[in-house]
Amino acid sequence: MIRPGTVTILPGCPIEPFELVRPKIAILTAAGKPENEEKAVRPSKKLSAAKRILSFNDLHVGDYVVHENHGIGRYDGITTLTVDGVTKDYITIQYAGSDRLFMSADALDKVSKYIGAHSDTEKVKLSKFGGVEWGKTKARAKSALRDIAKELIKLYAERMRRPGYAFSRDDEFQRSFEASFEYEETDAQHQAVNEIKADMMKAAPMDRLLCGDVGYGKTEVAFRAAYKAVLDSKQVAILVPTTILALQHYRTAAARMRDTAVSVGMLSRFVKPKEQKEIRERLQKGTLDIVIGTHSLLSKNVEFRDLGLLIVDEEQRFGVAQKEKIKQRTGNIDVLSLSATPIPRTLNMAMSGIRDISLLDEAPGSRLPVQTYVTEHNDIVIFEAIRRELRRGGQVFYLYNTVDSIDSVAAKIRDAIPEANVVTAHGKMDKDMLEDIWRDMTEGKIDVLVSTTIIESGVDVPNANTLIVQNAHRLGLSQLHQLRGRVGRSARRAYAYFTFPGDRALNEIQQKRLEAIKEYAEFGAGFQIAMRDLELRGAGSVLGAEQSGHLDEVGYDLYVKLLSEAILEEKGEKQEDEKTCTVSLSVDAFLPDSFVPSAPQRMALYKRLAHVASKKDADDISDEICDRFGEPPAPVINLIDIAQLRAEAADCGIASITQESGGIRITQTKFDVFVWQDMQKIMNGKLKIFLNPSAYVFVTLHTGDDPVALCLTLTEKFAKLKKASDSAPKEVK
């Protein structure tokens, strides 16, 4: 018998999960998805890829921040204040001297984390609150950006002038191929596929960057684009940085295309010269559809009959010279670049609109984050970690990046764990030997693979779930993140140990690099890693010394925004005014720390609420809050409703909603007097229109009226009337 307030476990429950509001009963089942259930069509997301990248920069107390209007300050946390009987949360920002700004938490979209040189030190100069210097600083940066804008416009114009190939719309073959994918796609994968296919169907050549953390499904997205190209009788080249990755991609592609008529080949040093010659001949004749290979694909002796799509995997691993070769070879074909940790230059280009970008920011449901340890090297700890992995039937990657002494490290492991099959691998080995080693590793015959960084790129061994990196301080941040991606590629918990010698002092950059790899251990960390890399390396590596000073003065986010404005101005296009509405109602609207105890979680929710664009967005956040924290109290409900009100009112052209004595004052940027006259009739005398000296509307509040609910109703009715008014035929005079 089921009693109120209890949890009852029933074995073999034959029904689907459901929830009843009255009586309050929820049935949760552990059953998987029925075999005949169709995949749901997912709605597209509203946030741009650039904004989603920026949203990863979580604020911590003590971080430097940039307010668009007031300049650089230091974030001092969330403060709850009661003013005139109304309680709200305020973001506290410390400026130069003793000046502090208490900014309403619902205006968080005006603030971004400062990213620039010295952002981890005390050397960043704080702005003077209310001074004129900040305006001059922004003007200097924008002036310097005009030259960059001219170059970018020239670059874009050249690209758009080149004739491209417009691929056909999806047909039954494409839909059947996508439906044959054996796993459940994420929303992000669906969105990325749709964005890429939309680009391919345009006449201009595609240049899109697909960013996705390790194991997030970039390969499947790329294969769908490749299959689409082949259906239009075009050839596809997949360029990868290493021979091992080429071999893995070849096997994966051959398996994925097995049930289709698509032919797949590989060009790398793993392929015998006679077979390489045959593949080149087939490419020239057009009888080979997809070829996967290393930089040898770019050589002059490789000719395609009709190349339509180039996919560049691990784009950040290719040097400037190789990328120039790619540009020369591509001409007017579509290019799709894949990257797990995009280098800052690539990130900058993508985020400022110079390149198109798609994001895979959702982990497959079965995966767990890699448990990450950063510690002094200790043989006892490391050997026990290896034994623990072997006891559960797994395999170990042991990275040691010095070829001369790699065999002695392997011998040391064999002595300590004699039952383990320990093998070494490095780039100086014979190609046939490397291929055999790699085949043995994927088949589970090797227990511990001691190797150099040749395992860094995209290698997939689901049974390897412990990684040990010796002398991790010598590797770059992006490299460390890529290496960590070699484990945790199954539903089993994975472990990564980044060790450094205890007998030597690390420099500041090395310390911060290791701190960052530990801090960013959760899913989606690739984007955070790239932004952190920008902080550690400075802007000089992105834009050159001349421009880096301007970036450091205003911070990365504002710099990108100013660049976008400069591009529009150079094009002669008017900057589209951002629709915003300020809402000031006399109701408690905040996240109590008794309800959401974690300050970072409260900050994350405030950031999301600041970007609510519709009722659906508000409902999604409300559902999530209920799931995570329980039934929300009145101040939280008010906070969500005000976020929705702000978005809907802005869409109506309403600039401000302010509660005053006896009612609510509403202003508009462009006053719709005729629509408000119609509203006056609907509101039964509660609404008055004032036109002099400035136009506004005053809505009377009676005892018991809920100001938030009243304003939501008003904006909903106003939107319908305005839509009808805008669509009505205009009288021709």
The DSSP annotation for 268-318 comes to STTS-HHHHHHHHHHHHHT---EEEESGGGGSTT---SSEEEEEESSGGGS
The CATH architecture that domain 371-522 belongs to is 3-Layer(aba) Sandwich (3.40)
What is the Cα–Cα distance from 183 to 33, expressed in whole angstroms?
12
3-state secondary structure of 249: helix
Average pLDDT over residues 669-689: 87
Instruction: Identify the residue with better confidence: 727 or 128.
Output: 128
Element of type H or E holding 212: strand 207-212
User: What pLDDT sits at residue 430?
Assistant: 79
Q: Per-residue pLDDT for 702 more than 80? A: yes
Give the other-Cβ count within 10 Å of 302's Cβ.
Answer: 19
3-state secondary structure of 467: strand
Taking every pair of Cα atoms in the chain, the longest distance, rounded to a whole number of angstroms, is 96
* Sign of the four-CA dihedral 498, 503, 508, 509: negative
Q: Give per-residue pLDDT as tens, 13-63.
A: 555 565 554 566 666 665 444 333 333 333 334 455 655 555 545 667 888
Q: Which CATH number fits domain 582-727: 3.40.50.300, 3.90.1150.50, 3.30.160.60, 3.40.1260.10?
A: 3.90.1150.50
Region(s) of the chain under CATH 3.40.50.300: 172-344, 371-522
User: What pLDDT sits at residue 142?
Assistant: 82
Contact between 81 and 88 (Cβ < 8 Å): yes
- The answer to pTM > 0.75 is no
Q: Give per-residue pLDDT as tens, 591-609.
A: 998 999 888 788 888 888 8
3-state secondary structure of 430: coil
User: What pLDDT sits at residue 639?
Assistant: 94
CA angle 353, 355, 358 (to 5 degrees): 95
What is the Cα–Cα distance from 402 to 418, expressed in whole angstroms?
23
Average pLDDT, the chain: 81
What is the Cα–Cα distance from 276 to 25, expressed in whole angstroms?
65
- Residue 495 makes CB contacts below 8 A (sequence gap 6+) with 370, 371, 372, 373, 385, 389, 465, 466, 467, 487
Q: Give per-residue pLDDT as tens, 124-150.
A: 888 888 878 888 888 888 887 777 777
Q: Tell me the CA end-to-end span of the chain in Å, nearest whole number.
A: 77
The b-or-e profile of 450-474 (16+ CB within 10 A means b, else e) is bbbbbbbbbbbbebbbbbbbbebbe
Query: ω before 693 within 30° of 0 (cis)?
Result: yes
Instruction: Identify the residue with better confidence: 428 or 568.
Output: 428
Local structure of residue 589 (DSSP, 8 states): B
Q: Give per-residue pLDDT as tens, 341-387.
A: 665 656 666 555 566 888 887 777 666 778 888 889 999 999 999 99
- Residue 299 makes CB contacts below 8 A (sequence gap 6+) with none
Q: Which fold has domain 172-344?
A: Rossmann fold (3.40.50)
Q: Which fold has domain 51-135?
A: Thrombin, subunit H (2.40.10)
Contact between 464 and 395 (Cβ < 8 Å): yes
**For 88-96, which contacts have Cβ atoms below 8 Å and span 24 or more sequence positions?**
88/588, 88/589, 88/590, 89/590, 89/591, 89/602, 89/606, 91/606, 93/65, 93/67, 94/126, 95/70, 95/71, 95/126, 95/127, 95/128, 95/129, 96/125, 96/126, 96/127, 96/128, 96/129
Strands in 687-690's sheet, in edge-to-edge order, are 582-584, 654-660, 663-668, 696-700, 687-690
What is the Cα–Cα distance from 113 to 93, expressed in whole angstroms?
12
- What percent of the chain clears pLDDT 90, i.e. is strictly above it? 34
pLDDT band per the 50, 70, 90 thresholds, residue 543: very low
Residue with tokens 């990564």: 496
- Residue 120 makes CB contacts below 8 A (sequence gap 6+) with 512, 535, 536
Region(s) of the chain under CATH 3.90.1150.50: 582-727
What is the Cα–Cα distance from 642 to 711, expressed in whole angstroms?
9
User: What pLDDT sits at residue 229?
Assistant: 96
- Residue 33 makes CB contacts below 8 A (sequence gap 6+) with 184
Phi, psi of 26 (to 5 degrees): -125, 130
- The crossing angle, in degrees rounded to 10, of helices 508-519 and 477-484 is 30
Best CA proximity match to 208, nearest among 52, 357, 47: 357
Q: Report CA-CA distances (Å) from 677 to 663, 664, 685, 722, 732.
A: 18, 17, 11, 11, 23
Residue with tokens 């591009």: 567
The b-or-e profile of 549-561 (16+ CB within 10 A means b, else e) is bbbbbbbbbbbbb
Q: Report CA-CA distances (Å) from 308 to 203, 238, 267.
A: 12, 11, 18
Region(s) of the chain under CATH 2.40.10.170: 51-135
Strands 64-67 and 71-83: antiparallel
Q: Give per-residue pLDDT as tens, 165-198.
A: 999 999 999 999 999 998 888 888 999 999 999 9
Q: Per-residue pLDDT for 406 more than 70? A: yes
Extract the tokens encoding 331: 């001409």
pLDDT band per the 50, 70, 90 thresholds, residue 264: very high
Can you list the alpha helix ranges (DSSP code H) found in 162-202?
172-179, 187-200
Extract the tokens encoding 40: 């749901």
Q: Per-residue pLDDT for 576 more than 80? A: no
What is the Cα–Cα distance from 272 to 266, expressed in whole angstroms?
10
Give the other-Cβ count within 10 Å of 62's Cβ.
Answer: 10
Q: Report CA-CA distances (Å) from 379 to 345, 371, 649.
A: 39, 19, 63
